[in-house]
Structure 1
Amino acid sequence: MIKFRFEYGMILIYLLLGSGWILFSDELTELLAPNPEVAAHFQTYKGLFYVFVTALLFYGFLRKHLQKLRKAEEKALESDRLKSGFLANVSHEIRTPMNGVMGFAELLKDESLTNEQRLEYISVIERSGERMLDLINDIVNISMIDTGQVRLHLSNVDTSELVTSLAALFEPAAIEKGVSLKFSPCSGDGMVGNLLLDREKVICVLSILIKNALKYTSKGSIEVSCRREADIVRFTVKDTGIGIPEGQLEAIFKRFVQVNMSYTKTYDGAGLGLAIAKSFVEIMGGKIWAESYQGSGSIFNFTIPYKTSKDLIK
């Protein structure tokens, strides 16, 4: 479809209105004012009427166009502001673990270190490397989402096995923090057989939610479960952490945004995880939301429509 520039459209409308008015207004004048003297006055008012009508039309068109331009400008300014904040945050997130790697690598050169000290320094380097790798993965995922390179890869998935398989990945971190981590097999009517899901993306979303729960939960428990409901499967991550202010439950899923910076400044992270989780869930045709009150823990749910092998045969 050919799109005309705004100014070309305005000129075209003006020409059409003017031509139409010239062609038909004279005939209208002859019908309404057969007397020459009356017709002369009518011609004057006819011109004023044309100017008045076209002025109103052009005002309406220009006002609508300017409103779009202002909204686009505001959106661009907001995007620049958020990206600037994001870059500042990312630079901090890279610099901090990099300092840990460089600093403790230098300390390892000391030959007088005991084995325990060496193991401790190596552990710090490993954690710093993992933190940088997580950030790089987040940036890569964001880039793939923006460029439309994310594709669904459906396979037969045992959802109970998928959920419980994450225990080995996150139990060490939970034990270190003194937090109870529970993984429950999937429940629901007719929960028999595998479901056709994108296993990799489901694991990615669950991992983001579990990491988020571990970050903000210093005591208590984290529960991970799933349930089959009609034609969807629901995954839930519930924690007893610091919670989220009710008015900010939607903002946490926005990219480049951190909820209440003064409130979360003691926690690491670039603020991309939940935005990535939301994008992946939506790509899978589902939805994600949070339920929480500040100081009372949080519950994150996401649902995904599924099919079975029998559905494909049909």
Structure 2
Amino acid sequence: MFLRKYLYIFLKTLPVIRNIILENQKLKDRISTLENDLEYISLILKEAPGHMYWKTPDNLYAGCNYNQAKLLGLNDPDQIKKKDIEDIFNLNANHFKQQIDSKEAEIIKENDRNIFIHKTESTFEEPTTINGQTYVFLSVKKPVIKKDGSVIGMVGISVDLTKQKKLEKRLNRAIKQAKSDREAKDIFIANLSHDIRTPLTGMLGLIDSLDEHMADEIGTGKIQSLRLLTNKFLKFFNDILDTISSPGILNINREYVNTADLIHNIVGLFIPVANKKDIEINYILEENVPAYIKVYHLAFKSVISNLIGNAVKFTTKGCIDIHASYDRDKNRLTMSFKDTGIGIAQNKISKIFERFTQLNRNHASKSTSSGLGLFMVKKHIQTMKGRIKVESTLGIGSTFTFNIPITETKSAMPEELTLDEKKPITQLDLEPKTALIVEDTKLAAIALNNLLKKNRFTNDIVETGSECIQKLKLQQYDFIFIDLGLPDIDGIDLLDQIKQLPKCKDSHIVVLSGHVNSHISKQCFGKGANSVYAKPLTLENLNKLNTL
């Protein structure tokens, strides 16, 4: 009876025991799954890229990933728990050959404290010096907040920006150097411009003065030819100077040019050299070439000038043939420049368009070539969306051929024709005027004086700023022409003094300089100048002054 009773109780509790065993197994399985998940999450955190770490509210490390542990010289991320940076330093003194920068450590601690205080995510750029090497980290830190609003920790992720910062410094140094180089180039171009324009201005003045003394037609004709060539060279120099001032950067607007006249004028510049070398320059424009084409004027002129110049330079006998044609279906202009010069070796053809490459070193040593001509030719043609090719045989000659798209053409003179294609003004009908010329270069002063005298100006000439001020205190002038490069005072400063003189209130002040750019013009206008022109003053500009 007793045994039955216990058997009955056992049978009754057996399902409960079985359920407990099953639930226990389920619990074990869940615990195992959680342990696996926890291990997986732990591995993810430890293997995470960048530098990851998390801290307790008392600003002690609670854990980190392998990258952070490695940075701090730890073998296992678990070694970081319940420590701050000073504890880690003491624990791993062998790794830290130099003391951690206390200021940098305090900055990091302060950043972390602010996360706990303000309970907001923040981003910091934190420098950290370890063993004499400074690392720069971009750190994003965020508080860990429970549902009840209490902060139980902080998690941070830092990305090493050290390489980027080094590159940034190198880039800044390169930008600074480029700026310095650009300033040096601007100074060089300004000096070059002044040193060439000023004597050319004087030459034109002397030519004009000689013209008055020529009694026979032959002498007058020679003077006219000399004046024409000098003006052509000055215009050519101005265009080239504008091109090299900003290589690759051209006039935003394209301009119409007279195709035949442009080529004829450029060829004319090289005729004297070609004649001296006893070589002929021939050019043919097919009938299908439009009379007027719209192009980037300076680039187009520079390309033709460089290709003719190279052909003349490297040809000692024979001829240079220039051919131009136009494909109306494809709207492309093709020009070829064939010479009977020294030619180019086949293994050198691919290099001739590189910067500072010279076609023939033996020949170049006798010339003043910079090796930039063909480099600029290719750059300009590329800017005009064109192509260029070279065919050459050593000892026989070379042919350079380029083609560019020309979509806008005219058969008659367009109204917006570029300035140097318009008929020049030869004489002005002006009312009598008075002028003071402030110029220390005698030839330039003579040139300007002759131009003004021919157009009914009565002039006084002074060479220094102090002489200018003395004159203006005693006499009033309609126009004051000032050179910026005076021996005793800067022309900009002189403008300041002139505007303060009572007798100059109604005077039109004209600044003439060998080098004019937007910066110089802005300075001059800011100091009281009414007009700013590059030397020499032309009849066109003088006419503009009269109409102001």
Correspondence for 2:301: 204
Match of 2:355 in 1: 251
Aligned twin of 1:284: 384
Counterpart amino acid of residue 120 in structure 1: K
Verify the 8 A CA contact 2:307 2:337 in the aligned structure 1.
yes
Residues 1:77 and 2:180 aligned together: yes
Query: Which aligned pairs between 1:1-314 and structure 2 lie closer than 5 A?
Result: 21-23=53-55, 26-28=62-64, 33=78, 39-40=81-82, 44-45=87-88, 51=128, 52=130, 55=135, 57-110=160-213, 113-139=215-241, 149-151=251-253, 169=265, 177=275, 178-183=278-283, 198=294, 201=297, 204=301, 207-209=304-306, 211-213=308-310, 216=313, 219-225=317-323, 235-240=335-340, 249-251=353-355, 263-265=366-368, 277-288=377-388, 299-304=399-404
Question: Residues 293 and 63 of structure 1: is their aligned pair in 2 closer, same or farther, counting only changes over 3 Å?
Answer: farther
> 1 or 2, which has the higher strand percentage?
2
Q: For 2:209 and 2:372, locate their aligned partners in 1 and report how far apart those are by CA, in whole Å.
A: 31
Identity %: 15
Aligned mates of 1:135, 1:193 — CA distance in 2: 27
- State the 1:133 CA deviation: 1.9
Describe the shift of the 1:171–1:62 C-alpha distance in structure 2 as closer, same or farther (beyond 3 A). Answer: closer
Once the two structures are TM-superposed, the CA of residue 169 in structure 1 deviates from its matched residue by 4.8
1:125, distance to aligned residue in structure 2 (A): 1.7
For residues 124 and 185 of structure 1, the distance between their equivalents in structure 2, rounded to whole angstroms, comes to 27
* Compared CA separation, residues 141 and 128, structure 1 to 2 (3 A): same
Secondary structure at 1:250's aligned position in 2?
Answer: coil
Displacement of 1:108 = 2.9
Give the 3 Å change call, closer, same or farther, for CA 108–142 of structure 1 in structure 2.
same
* Deviation of the 1:180 alpha carbon: 2.5
CA distance in 2, matches of 1:277, 1:137: 14
* Contact kept? 1:138, 1:272, Cα under 8 Å: no
Could you tell me which amino acid in structure 2 is paired with residue 119 of structure 1? Answer: G
Greater radius of gyration (CA): 2
2:423 match: none
When normalised by structure 2's length, the TM-score is: 0.36
**CA–CA distance in structure 1, aligned partners of residues 202 and 393 of structure 2:** 36
* Paired residue type of 2:382: E
Q: Which has the higher contact order (CA 8 A, sep 6+)?
A: 1
CA distance in 1, matches of 2:321, 2:167: 51
Do 2:186 and 2:245's aligned partners in 1 also have CA atoms closer than 8 Å? Answer: no
- 1:227 deviates by 7.9
Mapped partners of 2:296, 2:251: distance in 1: 15
Offset from partner CA, 1:114-151 (integer Å, 9 cap, x none): 43223222321221112112223344566798776424
RMSD between aligned alpha carbons? 5.4
Over 3 Å counting, the alpha-carbon distance change for 1:288 and 1:23 in structure 2 is farther
Gaps of 5+ in 2: 1-49, 66-75, 96-107, 109-127, 137-159, 358-362, 409-548
Deviations 1:134-184 (A, max 9, x none): 22334456679877642458x9xxxxxx6x887755676676524323446
Task: Quote how far apart the aligned CAs of 1:68 are.
Answer: 0.7
- Distance change (3 Å), C-alpha of 1:235 and 1:59: same
For the residue of structure 2 that corresponds to 1:237, the secondary structure is strand
Q: 1:92 to 1:125 in 2, by over 3 A?
A: same
Tell whether the 8 Å contact from 2:319 to 2:339 is kept in structure 1 after alignment: yes
8 Å CA contact 2:336–2:401 kept in 1: the answer is yes
Cα distance in 2 between the residues matched to 1:41 and 1:170: 81
Q: Distance in 1 between matches of 2:261 and 2:229?
A: 22
* Contact 1:208–1:273 (Cα < 8 Å) also in 2: no
Q: Any unmatched runs of 5+ in structure 1?
A: 1-16, 156-161, 187-191, 254-259, 309-314
SS in 1 for 2:212: coil
TM-score after normalising by structure 1: 0.56
1:72: how far off? 1.7
